[in-house]
A and B are shown apart, each in its own frame.
Chain A
């Protein structure tokens, strides 16, 4: 198995975490600076970070700009589809990615963000409700193939309205 981009993620990740650490440390200093007289329970300063409400947005410009080397590459996407079966992804997320134990990939909705970097991170690190962490088990090049395949499943989908004369998907129970 090719390990071309095995180390692609790690340096960028370090860059990202460093950036985060800088922001956190500067934020941590703010209350100290403004509450020099006595420790109070009420901040005496005004916090205005329009991006701090949604988790992950603080990382914008770092992880989110990670680009998938296989973006739009049909051959790599097809390989990703095979990996989706080989690593048992299909039995959690549905044979066609339409959702089973785990969430659907056909709805163009993303619990932890839908950029290539977000999806890479979800696979690499795992997620709290049972998504395993694959980063130490499979190569980055394989994860990128999976990212490309998973993202391809919902291109152009809009599932906001369910019309009961509409599409159905063959599902398999356990």
Chain B
């Protein structure tokens, strides 16, 4: 009934669209949101996955449809591969042609696997130079969120602040460009995207008092084309005549200085460690910025622009076109770096060019991506720090009882600093019109304190132990209707859902859990169709591809880590005889179910 007709598998983009429409009309599901589409579907074949979120719109949707709710129970592990590295395996593999490309956590080894050969032997293995000191500079484990492919090159970032390009055919290093400085606390963990021959990258270090930037590198030469800061003078931020934020309070000269006391913007954070989207029609890239530094807000009264912000920039020049702060003067560590999913949505009788963003602060924003206007903002997780968003200003109404402050221990703030969602990217399916969102349900106590800036050390000024949120679960995988701002269904989990999501044309969506369950779920109703316990907790994002045998495969990293593995659980490590940690109160049972690992799992029918 919901099986995709055979011609869809080989159809052109046009036919595929027609097919999706036709099938949708036959679906008649209550969860269906009519008239939604991915802003810019991927242009490469359905069986490939060539950039972090598969397309510039960050949908993480693949039209592959061999695996359906009817047959998903027949999924099984087809093959596996050990990366040889432990710690948090965030991000996703790529498949281009018949080659799969992997990148590991530090030391950021890259592998190319030949999918045409039995046992999938390596075509090459690339081990970059990568300064060991970076390990202790990275705030939240030594993760890497993946590579991007273009022009026969695999491009990705190294923890020690370099961006590298290697020849996709041979693994030969083509260039290696220093973009960040670990001596100032900058590491790089994000996955680049490649737009018209430019590699777009940003750094991590929001907890280290760095000054955030985003930059473009010429993919042919490795030379920087532009760099734009997110705090400081307008000239540095590439704010000029084209800058037209939607809300009046966001307009004015040099807000990147005047919204900070003194020179505090110089160590003000606002780094770009999350995912980047691109709209070719508007020629805009969309990126978030991290928390301001330090967490302790008493040291930086003001809006702290443009920390904790969503920013649209010209892809060619880096010029800022609009900016919006979900959390002005953030005092909860609510970074706004989560992915911006670009979709066209029917809102108020018209089709809007929308941007959907599930913020750390717990609100799901449906925005106009051309102007930066907030069309809708609704809580997608339990929260109490704000009573809602004022759509006249876009600003949150803050519950003063939950405002953190120096010298005070504010109890039970929800969501916690991990946010309603964190690095784990959501997915969108044009077949259901729904967003599939991995979420956290955690709360925290927060005690602010004064902190001194010391280069290369954390610049935090707060202690914030976390606990489970209301309802007795700590994470939930939800389906979200961004037109109406409503949760459609959810699967509650005992741990935060820290994996990314894959949505497919077969109406099966996939995610993994911190305790190591990989799950295939019916996109329409949230019914779990298949699950398998992998070796280590899942913090990466599943992807799908077509093998040389014509079969659909689904691949995901297993390898707990990141904030949840290194900082919150603490005791999931087993490889360090000199560092034996006791359990954390936040996820006290996690190490019963999982330990560090580093494996690729690939599933098929």
Residue among B462, B564, B581 with max Cβ neighbours from chain A (10 Å):
B581
**B521 beta carbon closer than 8 Å to chain A:** no
Interface-side segment among A57-65, A72-80, A84-92: A84-92
Decide if the interface of chain B is mainly helix, strand, loop or mixed: loop
Q: Give complex CA distance A173, B440 in Å.
A: 13
Contact between B578 and A92 (Cβ–Cβ < 8 Å)?
Answer: no
- What residues of chain A lie closer than 8 Å to B592, measured between beta carbons? 164
Contact between B583 and A101 (Cβ–Cβ < 8 Å)?
Answer: no
- Taking residues whose C-beta sits less than 8 angstroms from the other chain, chain B's interface range is 35 or more
- What residues of chain B lie closer than 8 Å to A174, measured between beta carbons? 139-140, 207, 333, 417, 458, 460, 563, 567
Q: Using A103-B578, A129-B132, A173-B417 as known contacts, say yes or no to A162 and B458 having CB atoms under 8 A apart.
A: no
Q: Using A91-B207, A102-B136, A172-B464 as known contacts, say yes or no to A111 and B579 having CB atoms under 8 A apart.
A: yes
Q: How near does chain A come to B294, taking the closest CB pair, in angstroms?
A: 10
Within B457-490, which residues are at the interface with A (CB < 8 Å)? 457-460, 462-466
Q: Give complex CA distance A160, B580 in Å.
A: 8
- What residues of chain A lie closer than 8 Å to B464, measured between beta carbons? 172-173
**A95 beta carbon closer than 8 Å to chain B:** yes
**B330 beta carbon closer than 8 Å to chain A:** no
Interface-side segment among B61-69, B536-544, B549-557, B568-576: B568-576
Residue among B140, B458, B576 with max Cβ neighbours from chain A (10 Å):
B458
Q: Select from chain A the residue with minimum beta-carbon distance to B460.
A: A91
Question: Which of B139, B207, B333, B585 touches A171 (beta carbons < 8 Å)?
Answer: B585
Encoded as 1 (CB less than 8 Å from any A CB) or 0, chain B from 578 to 602 comes to 1111111110110110000000000
Interface-side segment among B26-34, B343-351, B446-454, B504-512: B446-454
Contact between A92 and B591 (Cβ–Cβ < 8 Å)?
Answer: no
Q: Using A132-B456, A162-B591 as known contacts, say yes or no to A172 and B578 having CB atoms under 8 A apart.
A: no
**B133 beta carbon closer than 8 Å to chain A:** yes
Encoded as 1 (CB less than 8 Å from any B CB) or 0, chain A from 96 to 114 comes to 0011111110110111000
Contact between B579 and A109 (Cβ–Cβ < 8 Å)?
Answer: yes
Q: How near does chain B come to A166, taking the closest CB pair, in angstroms?
A: 7
Q: How near does chain B come to A106, taking the closest CB pair, in angstroms?
A: 7
Question: Which of A87, A91, A102, A171 touches B586 (beta carbons < 8 Å)?
Answer: A171
B interface list, Cβ under 8 A from A: 132-140, 207, 333, 416-418, 449, 451-452, 454, 456-460, 462-466, 563-564, 566-568, 570-571, 576-586, 588-589, 591-592
Q: Which 9 A-B pairs have the closest CB atoms?
A: A130-B136, A91-B458, A170-B465, A103-B579, A111-B578, A171-B584, A88-B457, A129-B135, A174-B139
Between A and B, 5 residue pairs with Cβ closer than 8 Å are A86-B452, A100-B567, A106-B581, A131-B136, A170-B586
